[in-house]
Amino acid sequence: MTRLFNDPAAFADEALEGFAAAHRRWVRPVTGGVVRAAATPAGQVAVVIGGGSGHYPAFSGLVGRGLAHGAAVGNVFASPSARQIHSVAEAAHGGAGVLLMYGNYAGDVLHFGQAAERLAADGIDTRTFAVADDISSAGPDDSAKRRGIAGDLPVFKAAAVAAEQGLPLDEVLGVAERAGARTRSFGIAFSGCTLPGADHPLFTVPEARMAVGLGIHGEPGIGEEALPTADEAARLLVETLLGELPEDVAGPGGQRAAVILNGLGSVKYEELFVVYRKVAALLGEAGVEIVDPEVGELVTSFDMAGVSLTLTWLDDRLEELWRAPADTPAYRKGALGTPEPEQAPVTTRAQDTAVPDTAAVPPASDASREAAGTVLAALDAVARVVDTHADELGRIDAVAGDGDHGIGMRRGSTAAQRAATDAHGLGAGAGTVLARAADAWADKAGGTSGALWGTMLRSLGTALGDQEAPDAPRVASGVTEASAAVRRLGGAEVGDKTMVDVLVPFADTLAAATAEGLPLSDAWDRAATAATEAAAGTAGLLPRRGRARPHAEKSLGTPDAGAHSLALITRAVHGVLLNH
């Protein structure tokens, strides 16, 4: 378990601060993460990687020559927000465009996609690539749905070296695609990880058993088997990966592969070497030539006891990129000659604008400022109800997911309430209060729920604005737009076992009730009842999206955590409306 921390909510920020202070030769801090200490050379594509905290050396430890130009770092097991990614990418940009790279998780896909849109709007040519190497998380026919685990390293490295060789952006993306298509990973775990401040692991494994097909956010394995010997574990890892070769690899014989035996946090290096001894022998027997193997901790999951094996099947070009030197805080290979000179931190537009200027808010009417008081009271109620139910939400989420929904919702709702309080104190209208709350929720919660709640609050804020006195139809219109925006962004629909299963009936019922002429509190009461019923109904659904999808059968009989939290929030807000 994690023993050394202060406030668990500040753990990720404090860890990043300490990391940057300890590695000034390689990196400098910027809003949202770190970039190389020396600026990206003019005309060179910047490769910006990122993801949640809790995976060190990924992602901040992989910033330096021969690897990433910058890393956006989110909260524990939560993707960085779009604003954080935008900030890091803008600071790393060298004038030739940016390639954003990340593991294939719903929250990362959403936030990095939003960041790419914002960068493009700023005139920065941007591409995105999600690493999807975990063969246990989806079958070959659904490989685009696979998670990213330790395969991040060889794919990130291939793209970064190509960028340093001067290739244009689309060719750097092509290298990433080639490396990603030839990378496969598979893992096993013997115990789950425990997050800072938690008193129990996200999942447990029965005595003398192991979880097969783990995820790196504390997700339980796809199945369980008897605890193996080191040699038996090596055989399972190797045979599983050799059982699924890339389409253009006819067979393992005569092939070359970059090999990574990755420790996930608690397996000691000596244990890894015992396993690798057999891995190397088995690959040799299969006719595979091992190229520059890596044995150690490359992508971890806090203190999870587990290992994963990654094979990247090499051609001449990929082998060149894999063998190329690298010099980062956590990953070094070969020699790169004279280090680039350190550069004093410079002020970038990203640093200036990543956090709203709290000294000024847009002008607002008296009616809107009065409504902002109701908005703030509602956000206070949201933060309270989330805090009360955070443990319950985590328990529900842990049935088939990673168990951090309650933690993320608490971080997001608390940050939103604080940002709203600050904006209200400056005389902001209802729309601006909601917009500030939206950005704070997305920044601090990260992950899928952070992106979606940020989108919902911003949509509602846009509908209310800062000039008009909000009435029931205007509020209902904002909620309807929030529902549509969430579906556009996340791609989920009713029946996928997500928060959409609650959001759609809530929005539809609210719109119908206000159209009948009901006062807002009465209309909201009817809609909140529909939301509660819809949330309970998700217990009978199988998840088709998100981290719970690989464990779909386990979730039968349990409601979706995001749907349940939304239903709780709608009811809590109704209590505020009764008094305002």
| Active-site residue, 217 included | yes
The answer to whether the beta carbons of residues 84 and 31 sit under 8 Å apart is yes
Q: How far is CA 392 from CA 400, 405, 534, 539, 556, in A?
A: 14, 9, 18, 15, 17
Backbone angles phi, psi at 239, to 5 degrees: -65, -35
| Distance between CA atoms of residues 259 and 183, nearest Å | 10
What would the DSSP string read from start to end of 498-565?
Answer: STHHHHHHHHHHHHHHHHTT--HHHHHHHHHHHHHHHHHHGGGPPP-SSTTGGGGGGGTTS--HHHHH
Query: One of 111, 217, 405, 574 is an active-site residue; which one?
Result: 217
| Closest to 300 in 3D by CA, of 72, 56, 102, 75 | 56
Pair of tokens at residue 100: 């954003």
What are the residues whose beta carbons fall under 8 Å from the beta carbon of 204, sequence distance 6 or more? Answer: 191, 192
What would the DSSP string read from start to end of 31-51?
Answer: TTEEEESSPPPTTPPEEEEEE
* Cβ atoms < 10 Å from Cβ of 552: 14
Q: Helix, strand or coil for residue 76?
A: strand
Pair of tokens at residue 196: 């800072």
CA angle, residues 96, 101, 106, in degrees to nearest 5: 140
User: What b/e readout covers 342-365, taking b as 16+ CB neighbours within 10 angstroms?
Assistant: eeeeeebebbeebebeeeebeebe
The residue with tokens 């009948």 is 516
Q: How far is CA 562 from CA 149, 171, 314, 403, 484, in A?
A: 24, 39, 41, 11, 17
Q: Which residues belong to the active site?
A: 217
